[in-house]
Structure 1
């Protein structure tokens, strides 16, 4: 039995951020899909496309309220790419070359989970009825599969939670969400390491977020509390002097020294995603502080004090190094920027 959604569904008006800008995402997209890489602001076609990024693109375009025509076209393109990437057994290809040939076999890695996240978001919030309908068909085709990878399951669980926004009695989505939270696991009672795994890697907050959603939507108060504790700990260890200092690309293993660079925009966006969910579920305004910190990281309130996007292109920089930003503006970083600004935007 799915519990009704409670709490606020918007963030406080005092969260100040520029509106999401789509120019660079349009620049990175052709009639096939979303290119993965760029050198500075220019697409690198030789690297082709990947399902991981296209799925993220479908998430942000589906979240956009009253999207303009170019954003609607992006959503259609990304949905078509994902349905093309999907194998009849529900798995997905990940890498498509510029020659429009797949370079891998279908599988159940992170890209499968992210594909279901994108499809679930489009099924619940897509900008057009025909997009929502087709996204649900593709989601259902993949939702019966299970990945051995906890992160892949977490991403898929986020998609299942989105489907449950629109279809509270969808048993396939319920089962996937429950299994996703179980795959994440439960941390022990050590306050120094409130995490179910000995290593923190990437998009860590997504794991806490899916536990929060499973606890909330399935009416499991203990699980909800566990997810909130995980997220609070993640936030606490990644804040220095009131600003975000997120875990670097190499991650952090329990008991080992912690590095500070290179920091990736995906970590900031994942924290903003999870904090926005925690705010919606609990109504606790302290989670809005985390969103403000995520916005601040992009605006220059970070360890180096530099803005993390190019105002000329609207592209997000690929990483924060000890000496400043990596000026390449690929899909992942640009989508992380857009996603964070979407959460920060106040809604009536």
Structure 2
């Protein structure tokens, strides 16, 4: 809920019962949206399926896998999933790696070909099957050849209502002193309500104080096709028979609280369904649980629930039989009350708390059985994207990042082009390396994805080692002896790690990498909300948005992204003035990542003010980072930075600044299609190739490395991790923007909002 659907109501009640009995924990729901619909779901919903969008089923499977969930419980009904007989759900189920328990809300004795195919595969993929009646279990065995040992019969849960006199609630409906007949649920022609209306004249001849309440909206699918034709036909029939004064059509979707009152007010509950092939009726179960006298047609579930005089069964399409049964119950108080008591006592084993415990037992059994007999999972398809011409851009070479990587991860520094083991490792650099290797694998360049996936595993392994699950934080500096030099790393290193993990989740085609990254990502995100560093916010936003490129419906992650982006916007609006359009009163390092994160988050959350502020800041930063010749990029120097009202530091100029500026400009271009941004990115990229203050190239085409920066009088010849990775990231961005790499297509797809 709030979707108006019996399955939605059942799922809501089951989730609530499980949470009440066993704690909220990591229990969440993935609902299905019917076509052209959206709903304001509660926080318990992390992801949504679009009924006819097959891709959302695939993404949901991946989401469930990397989150490390223990169990998936599917509520199955043919009509709520896309494809023939709802076969789209099979795409999700085939990819699941954890045990699956499926509740079958419909089991047909004579399925058509598509229905049989779907249910048989669901039965094969499920570790346990839950049905709500013994007949449904029998059909599974006899029609679908499901082994008995795989089936759990768990009756439909019912609210734990007191056994009360109906007169207590009748004033709520203006029916004091009257005998109340009730039918509730979603209206559709197969419910047979017209047969009760046809029975009213005979009932009223003997009991003129009877009123018939029909509570519920028209089924959304029926309403979409036919409008309110069925409800109007019921009203017209009542008028034709002269009983309209005794009919109350309560056109509303009854809440759980209201349901207690509606059912409580009924003297007799009626389910006049027109077909027998219904293995479960939630409304009938609820009426039984409330201790109602019940008249019903003999559909499958009713025959089982109302056996042993717990109700009265009448033939299908038989108004006279309905009238006779109602009159008999109204005229025999003793029998009616005895029936109520039998129904109430029988239902005590099916209250929601007991139902939740029965489901938990099924879940535990499924996990135990899976541990004894593991299932092979289907590997994700690995789509290899061909490499396009590199045009006028430098040829991308990866030799240096391979040289800088050992069994532990990427080393931090180099002496010229030789790795400097003495300086050890950082989470910062392994996060950057993971971003680059992931993107290289996606582009299938320079040796194909296998080579880069191997590097990605090394860097991701380092991040796992760096993460302290007790604190929820990454450590940053590690010595060459593999001993950590600190207990908690900087907020910025944590943000970069999130950025890297989000990139893997958003772009990698390697299912193993995505699974490992997903677990770590989930554990590391909460800490970002406690950070005070604007750059940590920005790095985290970039990572979360990369993740949302693959899982755009994750509302929890949308919330984190929006919170961090709003913080950036707030500090920008507090700090910015007529001459200083920036987030702080100084420009320091990785500057362009701040407007980049704000532009991207604003665009993807449809926040125009964020986009405007981000563009304004980026335009100002671009102007600040030029001096003299407008074609020459001059990043803010690291020796003093740039404080408002003071002189800018011109040196040392760092590759990380050029990389950030290129990424931000190309993000602005990708979203706005304004050519000025691609032009600016080209100018900045020229800085790596010698179009800089010293007219010296920083990129070394012989090694594939990048020199560490510009001093006032020379280039820093060391080719450390940060510099080399910054160049490679910038080159990948330029390739994507000019169409010289097939990565462009994949990046556009995975980064779309």
Q: Report the TM-score when normalising by structure 2.
A: 0.44
Residue in structure 1 matched with residue 700 of structure 2 by the alignment: 310
Q: 2:463 aligns with which of 79, 82, 91?
A: 82
Question: Which stretch of structure 1 is more off in the superposition, 35-44 or 241-250?
Answer: 241-250
Q: Find the partner of 2:550 among 150, 166, 170.
A: 166
Question: For 1:267 and 1:19, how far apart are their aligned partners in 2?
Answer: 22
Shift of 1:324: 2.3
Partner of 1:72: 453
* Partners of 1:143 and 1:172 within 8 A in 2: no
Deviations 1:188-208 (A, max 9, x none): 553421002101100000011
Q: In 2, Cα distance between the equivalents of 1:24 and 1:107?
A: 26
Matches for 1:192-211 after TM superposition, within 5 Å: 192-211=579-598
Matches within 5 A, 1:110-189: 110-145=492-527, 146=529, 147-184=531-568, 185-187=571-573
The structure with more radius of gyration: 2
More deviation, 47-56/241-250:
241-250
Deviation at 1:14, TM superposition (A): 11
Match of 1:246 among 635, 644, 649: 635
The CA deviation string for residues 287-344 of structure 1, in whole angstroms up to 9 with x for no partner, is 1112211220001011111101222222111011121210011000000110111111
What is the rounded CA distance, in whole Å, between the counterparts of 1:128 and 1:19 in structure 2? 25
Equivalent residue number for residue 98 of structure 1:
480
Task: Give distance in 2, aligned partners of 1:340 and 1:16.
Answer: 15
Cα offsets for 1:226-256 (capped at 9, x unmatched):
1111111111111232121111013100000
Aligned partner of 2:439 in structure 1 is 63
Larger displacement relative to structure 2 (276-285 or 110-119): 276-285
TM superposition shift of 1:107: 4.2
Structure 2 residue corresponding to 1:52, chosen from 400, 423, 428? 428
Q: Deviations over 1:110-163 (max 9, x none)?
A: 110000000000111124121122212211111111212111111111101101
Question: 1:15 deviation in Å?
Answer: 8.3
Comparing both chains, which one has the higher relative contact order based on Cα–Cα distances under 8 Å and sequence gaps of 6 or more? 1
Alpha carbons of structure 1 residues 267 and 76: separation in structure 2 relative to 1, 3 Å = same
Q: Determine the C-alpha separation between the residues in 2 that align with 1:298 and 1:225.
A: 29
Structure 1 distance, partners of 2:672, 2:416, is: 40
Question: In the TM superposition, what are the counterparts of 1:231-270 in structure 2 within 5 Å?
Answer: 231-240=618-627, 241=629, 242-249=631-638, 250-270=640-660
- The alignment of Structure 1 onto Structure 2 pairs a total of residues equal to 338
- Per-residue CA deviation, residues 6-47 of structure 1 (Å, 9 max, x unaligned), is xxxxxxx99842132211100000111000000101111011
Native 8 Å contact 1:244 1:297 kept in 2: yes
Are the counterparts in 1 of residues 576 and 583 from structure 2 also a CA contact under 8 Å? no
Change in CA separation of 1:14 and 1:255 when aligned onto 2, cut-off 3 Å: farther
What is the RMSD of the two structures over their aligned residues, measured on CA atoms? Answer: 1.9
Q: Does 1:230 align with 2:651?
A: no
Q: Where does the alignment leave 5 or more consecutive residues of structure 1 unmatched?
A: 3-12
Structure 2 unpaired stretches of 5+: 1-39, 41-46, 48-388, 743-753
Q: Which residue of 2 aligns with 1:9?
A: none
1:111–1:152 Cα contact (<8 Å) kept? yes
User: What secondary structure sits across from 2:422 in the alignment?
Assistant: helix
Residues 317-336 of structure 1 correspond to what in structure 2 (within 5 A)? Answer: 317-336=707-726
Partners of 1:210 and 1:202 lie apart in 2 by: 15
Contact residue 541 and residue 561 of structure 2 kept, 8 A: yes
User: What do the CA deviations read for 1:253-287 (whole angstroms, capped 9, x no partner)?
Assistant: 00001121110000000001111211111111211
Q: Structure 2 CA distance, aligned partners of 1:51 and 1:189?
A: 32
Matched, 1:291 2:681: yes
Distance 1:19 1:161 in 2: 29
Distance of aligned partners of 1:330 and 1:93 in 2 relative to their CA distance in 1, 3 Å threshold: same
* Aligned equivalents of 2:693, 2:489: Cα separation in 1: 38
SS of equivalent residue, structure 1 residue 225: helix
With the length of structure 1 as denominator, give the TM-score of the two structures: 0.92
Aligned counterparts of 2:663 and 2:624: Cα–Cα separation in 1: 17
